[in-house]
Structure 1
Amino acid sequence: MHPDSPDPATDDERWLIVGGRRWRRTDPSLPEPVVAALKSHLGRGRSGVGAAKRQGDDDAVAASRRRVGLAKHGLGERGPYWWDEPEPARLERAREALRELDGLERTAGA
């Protein structure tokens, strides 16, 4: 990151180490209601992956994994590093992911 970057996040704020593996943390600039909604979609997506695998439904596995990926992108845990983007772009990415996830849920009738 460039020293004049708008977000001087430290490595501890960017990464979580679990079992020696490094995982990107959720963007700390996101409002709590947005984070809560995205994490709800993330949990339901993960649950859907497991259920679809147990049923042997490859299409449902793919749909649930897409939901997980969208939620993680919205949270800043995948895609561009959140600390390299301006906060307004990060918030818009999260809101766009949430709109798409909500649309998927309405389409699926869940």
Structure 2
Amino acid sequence: MNRRTEPEHTPDGHYVVISGRRWRATDPSVPDDVAARLRSHLMAARRAVGVALREKDTTAERASRKRVNAAKVALGERGTPPWWEQDEKARKQRWEEGLRRLDS
């Protein structure tokens, strides 16, 4: 059975550590159902980047990378200020705007 394990988090919970490298953690206040939808968009966009690269389609690659970024920002994994410096209203607005953009 292939089980996914949670990555190690820094003591403050702001980052995950993967292969010795720190990456910004997903905002823990994003509801599970919303996070799942955003991750679905993220993975679809990453697959589209791969297709665009194989087809050498720079326009499609650029559009796909923008969708990857939009999903990462909505999850709190990118963007400024970081999620731990935002109030609850700003955090909720960030993921709601991300879903609106990605669902369209």
TM-score (norm 1): 0.81
User: Secondary structure of 1:35's partner?
Assistant: helix
**Structure 2 partner of 1:47:** 47
Aligned length: 94
Cα distance per residue 1:86-106 (max 9 Å; x no partner):
112101110101101111xxx
**Structure 1 partner of 2:102:** 101
Moved over 2 A (4+): none
Q: Structure 2: any 5+ residue segments left out of the alignment? A: 1-9
Q: Comparing both chains, which one has the higher relative contact order based on Cα–Cα distances under 8 Å and sequence gaps of 6 or more?
A: 1
Amino acid in structure 2 at the alignment position of 1:63: A
Cα distance per residue 1:41-95 (max 9 Å; x no partner):
0000000001110000000100100000000000000002100001121011101
Most deviating of 11-20 and 37-46: 11-20
Task: Work out the CA distance in 1 between the residues paired with 2:75 and 2:48.
Answer: 19
**Structure 1 partner of 2:29:** 29
Taking only the aligned residue pairs, the percentage that are identical comes to 52
**Structure 2 partner of 1:56:** 56
User: Secondary structure of 1:49's partner?
Assistant: helix
Structure with the bigger percentage of helix: 1
User: Secondary structure of 2:22's partner?
Assistant: strand
Shift of residue 12 of structure 1? 4.5
* Correspondence list, 1:4-15, <5 A: 11-15=11-15
Shift of residue 23 of structure 1? 0.2
**Structure 1 partner of 2:93:** 92
> RMSD over aligned Cα, in angstroms?
1.2
Q: Structure 1: any 5+ residue segments left out of the alignment? A: 1-9, 104-110
